[in-house]
Structure 1
Amino acid sequence: MGPQVDTLASDARFPAEADVVIVGGGIIGTSAALFLAQRGVSVVLCEKGHIAGEQSSRNWGWVRKARRDPREIPLIIESLRLWEGMNQVVGAETGFRRTGIVFAAESEAEVARYETWLDHARPYQIDARLISGAELERQVPGGASRWKAALFCATDGRAEPQKAAPAIAAEARRNGAVILTDCAVRGLDREGGRIAAAVTERGRIRCKSLVVAGGAWSRRFLKDLGLTLPQLKVRSSVMRTAPLEGAPETAMWCNEFAFRRRLDGGYNIANGNVNVVPIVPDSFRFFTDFLPALRADHKSLKLRLDGRFAQEWREAAPTPLDAVSVYEKVRVLDPAPDRRYLRQALESLSRMYPVFAGTRIVQEWAGLIDVMPDAIPVISPVDSLPGLVIATGFSGHGFGIGPGAGRLIADLVMGGTPVVDPHEFRFSRFSDGSNPRPIAGI
Structure 2
Amino acid sequence: MPLFEPDLRLPDKVDVVVIGGGIVGASTALELAERGHSVLLCEKGQIGGEQSSRNWGWVRISRRDPREVPLMAESMRLFEGLAQRTGRKTGYVRSGIVFGSGTEGYLAKLDRWRRHLEPHGIESRILRGAEIDRLMPGGNLNLKGALYTPMDGRAEPQWVTHAIAEAAQKAGAVVMTSLAVRSLDIAAGRVAGVATEKGRVHADAVVLAGGAWSRLFAGNAGLQLPQLKVLNTVLRTTPVDGPETALWTGGFAFRKRADGGYTVASGSGNTVDIVPDSFRLGLTFLPTYLEDWKSLHFRLSSRWAIEAGQARHWRPDEMTAFEACRVLDPAPSGRILKSCWAALGRAFPAFQKADIVQSWGGMIDATPDAIPVISAVEQIPGFHIATGFSGHGFGIAPGAGKLMADIVTGAPPVVDPSAFRFSRFTDGSRIRTDSGY
The corresponding residue for 2:248 is 253
* CA offsets 1:336-371 (integer angstroms, 9 cap, x no match): 001221121111111111111121111000000000
The corresponding residue for 2:295 is 300
The corresponding residue for 1:367 is 362
The corresponding residue for 2:5 is 9
The corresponding residue for 2:142 is 146
Coordinate RMSD, CA, aligned: 1.1
**Paired positions, count:** 437
Determine if the alignment matches structure 1 residue 408 to structure 2 residue 399: no
Determine if the alignment matches structure 1 residue 333 to structure 2 residue 328: yes
Determine if the alignment matches structure 1 residue 86 to structure 2 residue 82: yes
* 8 Å contact from structure 1 (residues 129, 151) kept in 2: yes
Determine if the alignment matches structure 1 residue 278 to structure 2 residue 281: no
Alignment-mate amino acid for residue 17 of structure 2: V
Cα distance between partner residues in 2 of 1:288 and 1:112: 31
Cα distance between partner residues in 2 of 1:38 and 1:17: 18
**Counterpart secondary structure, 2:294:** coil
Determine if the alignment matches structure 1 residue 111 to structure 2 residue 111: no
The corresponding residue for 1:342 is 337
Alignment-mate amino acid for residue 263 of structure 2: N
The corresponding residue for 1:263 is 258
The corresponding residue for 1:55 is 51
* 8 Å contact from structure 2 (residues 65, 436) kept in 1: no
How much has 1:116 moved relative to structure 2?
Answer: 2.6
* 8 Å contact from structure 2 (residues 11, 201) kept in 1: yes
* 8 Å contact from structure 2 (residues 252, 267) kept in 1: yes
**Counterpart secondary structure, 2:406:** helix
Give 4+ residue runs of structure 1 displaced > 2 Å after superposition.
119-126, 142-145
How much has 1:317 moved relative to structure 2?
Answer: 3.1
**Counterpart secondary structure, 2:309:** helix
The corresponding residue for 2:432 is 437
Give the direction of change, closer, same or farther, for the CA distance of 1:440–1:97 in structure 2 (3 Å limit): closer
* CA offsets 1:41-81 (integer angstroms, 9 cap, x no match): 00000000000000000000000011011000000000000
Cα distance between partner residues in 2 of 1:7 and 1:297: 38
The corresponding residue for 1:219 is 215
TM alignment of 1:301-320, pairs within 5 A: 301-320=296-315
TM alignment of 1:89-168, pairs within 5 A: 89-143=85-139, 146-168=142-164
2:382 to 384, 387, 395: 387
How much has 1:305 moved relative to structure 2?
Answer: 1.1
TM alignment of 1:184-203, pairs within 5 A: 184-203=180-199
**Counterpart secondary structure, 1:389:** strand
How much has 1:269 moved relative to structure 2?
Answer: 0.5
Alignment-mate amino acid for residue 210 of structure 1: V
| TM norm structure 2 | 0.98
Cα distance between partner residues in 1 of 2:142 and 2:393: 31
- Return 5+ residue gaps in structure 1 as ranges: none
Cα distance between partner residues in 1 of 2:312 and 2:97: 44
Cα distance between partner residues in 1 of 2:404 and 2:312: 30
1:30 to 7, 20, 26: 26
* 8 Å contact from structure 1 (residues 53, 332) kept in 2: yes
Cα distance between partner residues in 1 of 2:17 and 2:435: 37
How much has 1:144 moved relative to structure 2?
Answer: 6.1
* 8 Å contact from structure 2 (residues 16, 40) kept in 1: yes
Cα distance between partner residues in 2 of 1:281 and 1:130: 43
Determine if the alignment matches structure 1 residue 206 to structure 2 residue 199: no
The corresponding residue for 1:423 is 418
* 8 Å contact from structure 2 (residues 311, 321) kept in 1: no
* CA offsets 1:180-234 (integer angstroms, 9 cap, x no match): 0000000011111110111000100100000000000000000000000110010
2:60 to 64, 69, 75: 64
- Return 5+ residue gaps in structure 2 as ranges: none
Give the direction of change, closer, same or farther, for the CA distance of 1:172–1:440 in structure 2 (3 Å limit): closer
Alignment-mate amino acid for residue 131 of structure 2: E
Cα distance between partner residues in 2 of 1:238 and 1:44: 32
Cα distance between partner residues in 2 of 1:217 and 1:164: 21
Cα distance between partner residues in 1 of 2:311 and 2:148: 44
**Counterpart secondary structure, 2:36:** coil
Cα distance between partner residues in 2 of 1:42 and 1:310: 40
